[in-house]
């Protein structure tokens, strides 16, 4: 049996843990269902789908017994070129779905070669309560900012998982709480955080600038985004748990000058072919050109302000 945690760390993760699979506990399931029932997921209708799988990840792979959860640091440090607009830090390097999938895919192949076990890699690509399982696997704990905080790395991490038919020894869950300073709650421009770990996506700049689909009719309702063009990192930037953040050792996650050098005018004048060329291997393609240009228009209309009540 290979040392799987070591393989995952060698693949570039800053932390890895193992959890024995079973259903999500009833309290967490109820919280999630209530969040949906209150409509706080906005237009993210995909979060309503596959409820059965989402609450029992054993359904993702026949015979699944364990899950390895891995956190990868994407913190790129301070940009080395002029950056006219603010982009979510996770998005300015290579698309983390591709990068993490490749890295965990190699580990999964090694596991299968050594043991014959079946594996399935997921990177935000399956109906899975990623942060819930990361806590169970001891990878980190949840902050009031609704982020997973990884000890000695902070919250600038993306998660990936290997679901496997192997029976592995589980880690202890990380049941700590964050410092509770409420800086994230006070700093959130959309008042999206409820101070108890809950979040209303409809008030979150990240949701509004990435997930919310482009509708010409509701452009007037877009909040003023200031110089934020894609996503929002404010509730992570103010969090004291991130004072330990160090620049990632994954070169592909470092900020790309072709992205962070863009101006509002560059985006407003962009053709589809140029958008495709710049963002092919970038998570930013999710917003599509129309969405990015909508954000560019909102970004040009003054300082960031709260969303209209």
Neighbours of 116 (CB within 10 A): 9
Assess contact for 309 and 123: CB atoms under 8 A: no
Q: Is 111 in the site for ligand SF4 (CB under 6 A)?
A: no
Q: Which of residues 153-192 bind ligand SF4 (CB under 6 A)?
A: 178-184, 188-190, 192
Catalytic hit among 56, 124, 227, 266? 124
Q: Which residue has the tokens 């592995």?
A: 168
Q: Is 298 in the site for ligand SF4 (CB under 6 A)?
A: no
Length of the chain, in residues:
309
Quote the tokens at residue 56.
């029992």
Nearest approach, Cβ of 181 to ligand SF4 (angstroms)?
4
First to last CA, the chain: 57
Binding residue count for ligand SF4, defined by CB under 6 A:
26
Distance (Å, whole) CA 244 – CA 265: 35
Q: Which stretch binds ligand SF4 (CB under 6 A): 60-68, 74-82, 237-245, 273-281?
A: 237-245
Please select the residue that binds ligand SF4; options are 4, 135, 153, 239, rule is CB under 6 A: 239
Q: Which stretch binds ligand SF4 (CB under 6 A): 9-17, 42-50, 198-206, 265-273?
A: 198-206
- Residues 22/24/27/29 CA torsion (nearest 10 deg): -150
Longest CA–CA separation in the chain, Å: 58
Q: Which of residues 126-155 bind ligand SF4 (CB under 6 A)?
A: 143-145
Q: Is 174 a catalytic residue?
A: no
- Catalytic (active-site) positions: 124
List residues near ligand SF4 by CB under 6 A: 143-145, 178-184, 188-190, 192-193, 199, 204-206, 232, 234-235, 238-241
């Amino acid at each position: 049996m290979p040392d799987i945690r070591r393989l995952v760390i060698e693949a570039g993760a800053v932390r890895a843990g193992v959890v024995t699979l079973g259903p999500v506990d009833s309290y967490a399931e109820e919280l999630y269902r209530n969040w949906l029932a209150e409509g706080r997921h906005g237009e993210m209708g995909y979060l309503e789908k596959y409820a059965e799988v989402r609450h029992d990840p054993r359904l993702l792979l026949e015979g699944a017994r364990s899950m390895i959860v891995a956190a990868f640091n994407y913190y790129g440090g301070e940009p080395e070129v002029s950056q006219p607009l603010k982009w979510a830090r996770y998005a300015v390097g290579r698309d983390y779905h591709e990068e993490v999938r490749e890295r965990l895919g190699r580990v999964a192949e090694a596991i299968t070669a050594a043991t014959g076990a079946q594996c399935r890699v997921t990177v935000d690509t399956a109906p899975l309560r990623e942060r819930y399982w990361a806590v169970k696997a001891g990878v980190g704990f949840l902050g009031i900012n609704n982020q997973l905080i990884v000890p000695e790395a902070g919250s600038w991490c993306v998660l990936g998982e290997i679901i496997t038919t192997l029976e592995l020894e589980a880690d202890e869950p990380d049941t700590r709480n964050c410092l509770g300073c409420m800086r994230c709650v006070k700093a959130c421009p959309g008042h999206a955080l409820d101070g108890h770990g809950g979040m209303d996506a409809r008030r979150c700049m990240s949701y509004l600038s990435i997930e919310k689909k482009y509708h010409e009719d509701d452009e007037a309702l877009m909040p003023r985004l200031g110089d934020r063009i894609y996503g929002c990192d404010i509730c992570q930037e103010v969090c004291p748990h991130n004072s330990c953040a160090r620049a990632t050792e994954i070169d592909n996650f470092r900020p790309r000058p072709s992205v962070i050098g863009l101006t509002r005018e560059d985006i407003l004048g962009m053709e589809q072919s140029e958008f495709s060329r710049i963002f092919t291997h970038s998570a930013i393609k999710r917003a599509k050109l129309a969405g990015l240009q909508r954000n560019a228009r909102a970004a040009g209309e003054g300082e960031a302000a709260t969303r209209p009540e």
